[in-house]
Structure 1
Amino acid sequence: MNGNKVRRRVGKYEVGRTIGEGTFAKVKFAKNSETGEPVAIKILDKEKVLKHKMVEQIKREIAIMKLIKHPNVVRLYEVMGSKTKIFIVLEFVTGGELFDKIVNHGRMKEDEARRYFQQLINTVDYCHSRGVYHRDLKPENLLLDICGNLKVSDFGLSALSRQVRDDGLLHTTCGTPNYVAPEVLNDRGYDGSTADLWSCGVILFVLLAGYLPFDDSNLMNLYKKVSIVPIFGLLFSYSMMDVCLLDMLLYVQISDAEFTCPPWLSFGAAKLITRILDPNPMTRIMIPEILEDEWFKKDYKRPVFEEKDDTNLDDVDAVFKDSEEHHVTEKKDEEQPAAMNAFELISMSKGLNLGNLFEIEQEFKRETRFTSRCPANEIVSKIEEAVKPLGFDVHKKNYKMKLENVKAGRKGNLNVATEVFQVAPSLHMVEVRKAKGDTLEFHKFYKNLSTRLKDVVWKTEDDMHDDNNQG
């Protein structure tokens, strides 16, 4: 982005590297060319959105983020559209995920965990007061800004109060299994506010314990030696059996609230967690009671901020219109590898990296990088040569590659995205990122790839990290 050519420009934003990727969207680092402010741009393909009938869901997500203006929520700056794309411009949060702290340093002390939990409860309370229920509160959706303050993100599964049916309940089963309330799983309707609070309770448990209260990771030992078993009168293969049994056993754990607080928790913390993780939503503690809880109240400060009532939803509808007058200008120039500026390099460092996972394979990352002194074209060719014998189809576009394993793994086909960036005229950085599939399989793939690229790799990310520590 500081090179001779801008790789891509959308309106007033210079667009850089990919920092996140999902089924229907990519999130890219960008810079406001007028102010120099870094932002994140979520880019959605209009054709996919229309094909999968997601227009209303996308409109709802944008409307909710415009409605929620809280210091602990990722800010939405603006929404733009082109003939083929939708661009959602968001605050660029540089502090990483809250749970990077757990991955890197283990469980938190109670004072530290309490501060984050207080910010989370304040944010959820604010959302509920605006008739918004998040429905997917989990570690990956809790970020930290540069000052260490919590930022709740990803309102893609959120619901508005107008979605409540005549019985006063929501009925869409959604969320991440380990964090979902039991009433959401039983498919008889649920209250969005109490369901969100359950997820908050799981998050507090993980902050203080360092592990999940409901986890299927050790249930595999129950049937590792069995190859085929009958379930509901049908025969399932080993892999299908894994999924079915794990889901059923996890469901039982959550429905009965089968968990035990670790012995190092104070009585006050354990008592609060137990009251939140009450499987009966009718007797589960509510936010007004949490605000009065003695453990919660310690050093508590309610956030003070100015709320502007200037929500305008005109651009939400405009991005889906085909009229040229509503389209933002896109300019592309990808003849050279994208150049990296200093801010982007800093944002890739381990302390600010948004890519750490919080899951069973905590020691494995979903993205990694290496530097090379080889020309960019040669790097791309060498990667292609290396991955084809490993069973990957290769799709190239300039200095980006999408690698798809033709053989399905335990979480579907492993898809890997790579991109070559120019750091200096004779130095390139290569990012290798899991786009889809299992993290453990990605880790094994990268080990094989790095072995095959010995003549290309100059330094790995770990080498660069060691150099920084020595410096």
Structure 2
Amino acid sequence: MNRTKIKRRVGKYEVGRTIGEGTFAKVKFARNSETGDSVAIKILDKDKVLKHKMAEQIKREIATMKLIRHPHVVQLYEVMGSKTKIFIVLEFVTGGELFDKIVNHGRMHEEEARKYFQQLIHTVDYCHSRGVYHRDLKPENLLLDASGDLKVSDFGLSALSQQVRDDGLLHTTCGTPNYVAPEVLNDRGYDGATADLWSCGVILFVLLAGYLPFDDSNLMNLYNKISAAEFTCPPWISFGAMKLITRILDPNPTTRIIVAEILEDEWFKKDYKPPVFDEIEDANLDDVEAVFKDSEEYHVTERREEKPTSMNAFELISMSQGLNLGNLFDEQGFKRETRFTSKCPANEIISKIEEAAKPLGFDVSKKNYKMRLQNLKAGRKGNLNVATEVFQVAPSLHMVEVRKAKGDTLEFHKFYKNLSTCLDKVVWKTEQDMEEKK
């Protein structure tokens, strides 16, 4: 069955699959049609931005981000606007998340954890010196490039999920509570720099321990533990690392260690080689102003082209890095997305997913060959939302992507295991799979 897919272009970029979703934004994979380079495009709804009076702040943050070229920060290339949307074009990072290493291989040796922590602190310090604060440092924002070096994403753009009130201080509206500083949680306003450092301390603990310093299924208990900095270092963490973590996870922001003191810490300094890079002297900021202008002449053209859904070999390989497509039961850890192939017709695949999801307590909405499954019962991080899409690889072969859109990754993993059992007959088995089952 040949389904028709609308192919979307924004200016010179051909826009593809969704690779992330947030409160205010959706992130899509795209390709620069002039150079062939891969990029990520963050798409914001203009109305929401204006409604929350965030235009000036976003303009300022984007302008500053264009001036930052740090080897460990995901680069912002350009920004474009249409009548209804803002498009932020970012570097596409291919090495996955730093925390996938912990999920797959357990806690890190001190030397490896120290290397990543040094890269993180240098990045945070550099951005702070230019007035840019992250405010939402957490696992999803720590990526790795092809060389295995750290790339921090959403630096300076986290304001998209935050709000500044009349007192001029930041007040969090969301975020991952486990990584958030106590002064952010008490909602009396906070300093972006000291709050970022607290999150860095939590990240260092997780790298070395393999689990969170503050964790509780009851939110009030979690807040109390964070406010009192109530945590215990496991015995395998060295005294030097433990001392540094304790100085960072100080619940009082006025006595918490600052970057200058971290740089002098004996444990931190070991084998420290700050990156050498050229700073950008000036950047063209005309596009930042143009984004918020109503005049048509400043708007980027959005075109939609009808094209049958097919996927060439290159796209298939790029989407399935290190994945055995014939194997639905991938146990490589808690992924946020997974894929399988099927020889069933696309309509049948959709029906089978719907049949399997409803008894698991999911509400199902469908549009073309995309589905959104929402768990009616709230989990640890709200309602689990799962997005699925069917792609045609060959006339009689489809690939199905199953992706966590919202909610807890561990809950997604449990849901996926249940779903995979129900879909056993739908998944294409290779001869090797059949042999292994015997």
Q: Which category describes the TM-score, using the shorter chain as reference length?
A: 0.7 to 0.9
Conserved in 2, the CA contact under 8 Å of 1:16 and 1:338?
Answer: no
- SS of the residue corresponding to residue 172 of structure 1 reads strand
Report the alpha carbon displacement of residue 114 of structure 1 after superposing the two structures with TM: 0.8
2:234 partner letter: P
Does residue 1:409 correspond to 2:378, yes or no?
A: yes
Indicate the residue corresponding to 1:266 in structure 2.
238
Report the alpha carbon displacement of residue 35 of structure 1 after superposing the two structures with TM: 1.2
Indicate the residue corresponding to 1:287 in structure 2.
259
Report the alpha carbon displacement of residue 327 of structure 1 after superposing the two structures with TM: 1.9
Conserved in 1, the CA contact under 8 Å of 2:5 and 2:309?
Answer: no
Conserved in 1, the CA contact under 8 Å of 2:68 and 2:280?
Answer: no
Report the alpha carbon displacement of residue 401 of structure 1 after superposing the two structures with TM: 2.4
Indicate the residue corresponding to 1:305 in structure 2.
277
Distance 1:192 1:463 in 2: 52
Conserved in 2, the CA contact under 8 Å of 1:73 and 1:152?
Answer: yes
Unaligned runs of 5+ in 2: 324-331
Indicate the residue corresponding to 2:224 in structure 1.
252
1:409 partner letter: A
Indicate the residue corresponding to 2:182 in structure 1.
182
Q: Cα gap change, 1:341/1:9 in structure 2, threshold over 3 Å: closer, same or farther? A: farther
Q: Cα gap change, 1:95/1:459 in structure 2, threshold over 3 Å: closer, same or farther? A: farther
Conserved in 2, the CA contact under 8 Å of 1:337 and 1:399?
Answer: no
Report the alpha carbon displacement of residue 299 of structure 1 after superposing the two structures with TM: 1.2
1:99-114 matched pairs, under 5 angstroms: 99-114=99-114
Answer with 293-302 or 53-62: which moved more: 53-62
Indicate the residue corresponding to 2:171 in structure 1.
172
* 1:325 aligned residue (297, 304, 318): 297
Distance 1:255 1:328 in 2: 47
Does residue 1:366 correspond to 2:336, yes or no?
A: yes
Q: Cα gap change, 1:57/1:385 in structure 2, threshold over 3 Å: closer, same or farther? A: farther
Report the alpha carbon displacement of residue 125 of structure 1 after superposing the two structures with TM: 0.6
Conserved in 2, the CA contact under 8 Å of 1:339 and 1:422?
Answer: yes
2:105 partner letter: H
Indicate the residue corresponding to 1:157 in structure 2.
158
Distance 2:45 2:310 in 1: 22
Indicate the residue corresponding to 2:399 in structure 1.
429
Q: Cα gap change, 1:165/1:113 in structure 2, threshold over 3 Å: closer, same or farther? A: farther
Report the alpha carbon displacement of residue 438 of structure 1 after superposing the two structures with TM: 4.1
Aligned-residue Cα RMSD (Å) equals 3.1
Report the alpha carbon displacement of residue 295 of structure 1 after superposing the two structures with TM: 1.2
- Aligned pairs, number: 417
Show CA shifts across 1:157-182 (max 9, x none). 349xxx7999xx83424543212222
1:249 partner letter: N
Indicate the residue corresponding to 2:38 in structure 1.
38
* 2:366 aligned residue (362, 387, 396): 396
Indicate the residue corresponding to 2:327 in structure 1.
none
Indicate the residue corresponding to 2:98 in structure 1.
98
Report the alpha carbon displacement of residue 151 of structure 1 after superposing the two structures with TM: 0.8
Does residue 1:193 correspond to 2:188, yes or no?
A: no
Answer with 130-139 or 418-427: which moved more: 418-427
Does residue 1:122 correspond to 2:122, yes or no?
A: yes
1:332 partner letter: R
2:201 partner letter: G
- SS of the residue corresponding to residue 44 of structure 1 reads strand
Show CA shifts across 1:435-459 (max 9, x none). 2234455445434544443443215
- SS of the residue corresponding to residue 98 of structure 2 reads coil
Report the alpha carbon displacement of residue 111 of structure 1 after superposing the two structures with TM: 0.8
Conserved in 2, the CA contact under 8 Å of 1:57 and 1:156?
Answer: no
1:351-362 matched pairs, under 5 angstroms: none
Conserved in 1, the CA contact under 8 Å of 2:19 and 2:27?
Answer: yes
- SS of the residue corresponding to residue 158 of structure 2 reads coil
Q: Cα gap change, 1:129/1:384 in structure 2, threshold over 3 Å: closer, same or farther? A: same
Report the alpha carbon displacement of residue 284 of structure 1 after superposing the two structures with TM: 2.0
1:300 partner letter: Y
2:100 partner letter: D
1:7 partner letter: K
Report the alpha carbon displacement of residue 189 of structure 1 after superposing the two structures with TM: 3.8
Distance 2:103 2:361 in 1: 32
Q: Cα gap change, 1:340/1:330 in structure 2, threshold over 3 Å: closer, same or farther? A: farther
1:8 partner letter: R
Conserved in 2, the CA contact under 8 Å of 1:6 and 1:14?
Answer: no
Distance 2:170 2:86 in 1: 29
Moved over 6 A (4+): 163-166
Distance 1:63 1:338 in 2: 38
- SS of the residue corresponding to residue 333 of structure 1 reads strand
Distance 1:388 1:255 in 2: 40
Conserved in 1, the CA contact under 8 Å of 2:108 and 2:207?
Answer: yes
Show CA shifts across 1:52-87 (max 9, x none). 554345434423422322111000111112233222
Unaligned runs of 5+ in 1: 218-245, 352-361, 467-471
1:172 partner letter: H
2:255 partner letter: T
Indicate the residue corresponding to 2:132 in structure 1.
132
Indicate the residue corresponding to 1:59 in structure 2.
59
Conserved in 2, the CA contact under 8 Å of 1:337 and 1:376?
Answer: no
Q: Cα gap change, 1:376/1:178 in structure 2, threshold over 3 Å: closer, same or farther? A: same
Answer with 445-454 or 418-427: which moved more: 445-454
Show CA shifts across 1:313-340 (max 9, x none). 3322322333221222222235522524
Distance 1:57 1:269 in 2: 37
1:106 partner letter: G
